[in-house]
Amino acid sequence: MMGIMRNVTRNRDDLKAASRRRILDAAAWRLRREGVDGTAIVPVMREAGLTHGAFYSHFAAKEDLAVAAFSHAITTGRPRWIKARKNQAWTDRLKSLARQYLTSAHRDELKTSCGFTALSSDAARGTPEFRAGYERELRLSLAAICEGTDDDSSRLDDAIAMMVICVGGLSLARAVPDKEFSERILRVARATANSAANAALDES
């Protein structure tokens, strides 16, 4: 009997976890495409294929969902942009990040795009909780970039500089309607990232 009860509890927990994942997947997609306004409860739950009432089994309010969805968007997307280091030279690591990030495909694909670019303006105007979540994920991403390096401020400064170039460059390229001008922005941003990486002191 106890074994049956444990299985029932486990199945219930698995179903709840799966439902939460569906909500976060739907909210993260809408968040990238429409900003924080995209995390309204009704359309997110419709997108997830769940009832409106099921929302409150996972979140207390829309604001909680926005923070969780942003974290989900970043944590699921981070491996796409920041690969395991595998003895890669520091300058090569910085160049690789920019090369993968500053592309026309990334500019045009909102569904799987990086949340830092998609939500930077929303974060600046957001609630204290959303801004704290944005900063937390940014710090984690910077730590991932610096993985395996000596923990010194110069490495962190290099990583911050690369994020500034990548997020800023992609934001501008995405904002302008002229495709030729947009491509030029990406090209200049890649060149700037390359120069910044070359200027960074490589590890001995």
What are 195's two structure tokens? 């120069």
pLDDT of 149 reads: 62
% pLDDT > 70, the chain: 90
pLDDT of 112 reads: 83
pLDDT of 173 reads: 97
pTM, to two decimals: 0.85
Residue 106 in this model has a pLDDT that exceeds 90: yes
User: pLDDT tens-digit profile of 122-152?
Assistant: 899 999 999 999 999 999 999 999 986 656 7
Alpha helices of 82-204 — where are they, by DSSP H?
90-101, 104-108, 115-125, 128-145, 153-175, 179-199
Kindly list the structural domains of the chain, giving each domain's residue range(s) and its CATH number in brackets, ordered by start.
1-60 (1.10.10), 82-204 (1.10.357.10)
Hey, is 61 helix, strand or coil? coil
- Would you say 44 and 65 are in contact if contact means Cβ atoms under 8 Å apart? yes
In which residue are the tokens 């923070």 written? 67
User: pLDDT tens-digit profile of 162-202?
Assistant: 999 999 999 999 999 999 999 999 999 999 999 999 998 65
Residue 10 in this model has a pLDDT that exceeds 80: no
User: pLDDT tens-digit profile of 54-94?
Assistant: 888 889 888 999 999 999 999 998 888 888 777 788 999 99
The whole-number average pLDDT for the span 22-37 is 91
In which residue are the tokens 């110069």 written? 154
Report the candidate in 78, 88, 89 with the shortest Cα–Cα distance to residue 201: 89
